[in-house]
Amino acid sequence: MKKLFLIPLVIAVLAIPVGVFAQEEATEDETTEINLISAPTEEEEDTFVVTPPSDISYTFSLVLEEIREFFTLDPDKKIEMRLEYAEKRLVEMEALSAEGNTEQLEKVQARYERQIAKAIQMANKDADKAEERLDKVEEIRARHLEVLDGVLGRVADEAKPSIEKVIEKTTARYETDKSERQALKKANKGGNSDTQDTTEEIEE
Angle formed by the axes of helices 102-123 and 160-203, nearest 10°? 10
The answer to whether residue 171 sits within a structural domain is yes
The answer to whether residue 56 sits within a structural domain is no
Quote the pLDDT of residue 191: 57
The answer to whether residue 20 sits within a structural domain is no
Q: Is the pTM of this model over 0.75?
A: no
Domain extent, residue 110, equals 75-195
Count up the domains in the chain and report the number: 1
In tens, the pLDDT along 116-172 reads: 999 999 988 888 888 888 888 888 888 999 999 999 998 888 888 888 988 998 898
The answer to whether residue 175 sits within a structural domain is yes
The answer to whether residue 57 sits within a structural domain is no
For residues 51 and 55, give the distance between their C-alpha atoms in angstroms, rounded to a whole number: 7
The answer to whether residue 122 sits within a structural domain is yes
Residue 38 has pLDDT above 80, yes or no: no
Residue 155 contacts by C-beta under 8 Å, 6 or more apart in sequence? 97, 100, 102, 105, 163
